[in-house]
Amino acid sequence: MNTHRAQVAPLATAALCFAFGAATAQAPASAVDRAPSGLRASLAARDYPSPDAPRGRPEPGVTDQDLDLVFVLDTTVSMKASLGNLKAAVSAVADAAAGLEPAPALRLGLVLFRDPGDDYQIRARPLTPDPEAFGASLAMAEAAGGGDIPEDIGAALLAALRGMAWRPGSLRLVFLATDAPPRAPLSAAGSSCAAALELARSLGVGLYTVEAEGTPPAGGAALEALASGTGAARLVLGAGRTAGTRFDGAAPNLVRGPLESLVVDLVAAELAAARRTADAERRSGALRLLADVEARLLERLVFPEAARRRGVEGTSRLLLRVDAAGNLVSVKLVGASGSALLDGAALDLARASFPIANPARRETELEIGVRYRLAPAPGGK
């Protein structure tokens, strides 16, 4: 005899967190949308770990938090297809960060990196309060050189961590973008990535990573380790799921959207947490919406009787668009369970679960797995 279970697919391994609340920093939508990069990204949700070293040490109630924001970009030839759009995204993030309310005391830094033997290995623009000087350095980034798959990511991060004159008590964030694994894994003796991770933790720097399309699994694993090791997040570039694809039930639930919007939300939430307490959680409104929708689905989830009688099980992956007021704009199937009964039940469940409060206060895309599973009854009978 079998029992039946239905559940929302569990959150899995990618690191994410950013926070919004009534008194948090926010980016005006126009600041992010002014120069869209065309890049889409996803963030997989899990509990956000607090780093051993807090992000700055502000006085209680401080509003003029110093923000030191550094971008580290892989400019080898394999990044040629995406570098132009990535530069547009970085420029939009820089503009939007300056427009956060209340405004931080913002400085921007840049590190471009290639392989040893290229015309440069490291090219750095020190932290500056001048957005035009930063923009001029960013505009010079072009993809060339390289030739092999691994990159010296550790050397680039060490250059950023050691070469930037971080302000005492500042919120220190680094965004690294690459499509390659490091030359030596973090576990290897003498690994420059491991040294960079240790230094970042000691300096209280959050290492956010951006995984470009085409990154091999070893590269994705390294970027995840760097991000999670500093209490930060890995963003994955890509257009998202395609209809009709079967997925493992353990695939993570996601927040999806334009790269620049996701990054600005991360920065705003880090600022919000820094202004409250050094160890405050950093969950965004988008992630809180994801958690609330998961809870609502779980409350109303029922295993379809017809599917139970037939012994059918599987996971339906749904893409939901939720407007700023918490209404369901659309829902579609992006990962089939293999059963029309289960897929139909999951779609009906989503439609019946709205409206809901939307703490993100903007239209948000969520990808959620609804798992229907049969399991042996206790005692195996």
CA angle centred on 212, ends 209 and 216, rounded to 5°: 100
CA dihedral (133, 139, 144, 150) positive or negative:
positive
- Give pLDDT, residue 376: 61
> What is the DSSP secondary structure assignment for residue 182, as one 8-state letter?
B
Average confidence score pLDDT of the chain: 81
> What is the DSSP secondary structure assignment for residue 61, as one 8-state letter?
T
pLDDT band at 88 (very low <50, low <70, confident <90, very high): very high
Whether the bond between 185 and the residue before it is cis, its omega within 30 degrees of 0, is no
Q: C-alpha distances in angstroms, 120 versus 12, 236, 328, 353?
A: 38, 27, 50, 54
- Give pLDDT, residue 77: 92
- Give pLDDT, residue 273: 79
> Which residue from 128, 147, 146 is spatially nearest to 137, judged by alpha carbons?
128
Does the structure show a pLDDT above 50 at 163? yes
What kind of fold does domain 2-8+288-380 have according to CATH? Answer: 3.30.1150
Lowest mean pLDDT among 71-85, 103-117, 183-197, 348-362: 183-197
- Give pLDDT, residue 174: 97
Select, from the ranges 61-65, 144-148, 161-165, the one with the highest average predicted confidence (pLDDT): 161-165
3-state secondary structure 93-146: HHHHHHCCECCCEEEEEEEEECCCCCCCCEEEEEEECCHHHHHHHHHCCCCCCC
Any bridge partners for residue 208, and if so which?
175
The rounded distance, in Å, linking the Cα atoms of 95 and 97 is 6
Domain boundaries, the chain: 2-8+288-380, 29-283
The rounded distance, in Å, linking the Cα atoms of 138 and 159 is 17
* Residue 300 C-beta-side C-alpha neighbours within 13 Å: 15
Both tokens of 121, joined, read 């290995």
Q: C-alpha distances in angstroms, 191 versus 45, 56, 183?
A: 28, 27, 8
- Give pLDDT, residue 374: 82
Query: Tens digit of pLDDT for each residue in 262-312?
Result: 898 888 888 887 776 444 455 677 878 888 999 999 999 999 999 989 999
Residue corresponding to tokens 């988008």: 286
Query: Tens digit of pLDDT for each residue in 164-206?
Result: 999 998 999 999 999 998 888 788 888 899 999 999 999 999 9
- Give pLDDT, residue 25: 38
pLDDT band at 49 (very low <50, low <70, confident <90, very high): very low
Other Cβ atoms less than 10 A from the Cβ of 373: the count is: 15
Q: Compute the average pLDDT of residues 150-155.
A: 90
Q: Which CATH class is domain 29-283?
A: alpha beta
User: Are the beta carbons of 83 and 292 closer than 8 angstroms?
Assistant: no
Any bridge partners for residue 219, and if so which?
none
- Give pLDDT, residue 254: 83
- Give pLDDT, residue 282: 58
> Which residue from 58, 263, 282 is spatially nearest to 171, judged by alpha carbons?
58
Select, from the ranges 15-19, 121-125, 234-238, the one with the highest average predicted confidence (pLDDT): 121-125
- Give pLDDT, residue 262: 87
Lowest mean pLDDT among 17-31, 66-80, 178-192: 17-31
> Which position has the higher pLDDT, 78 or 287?
78
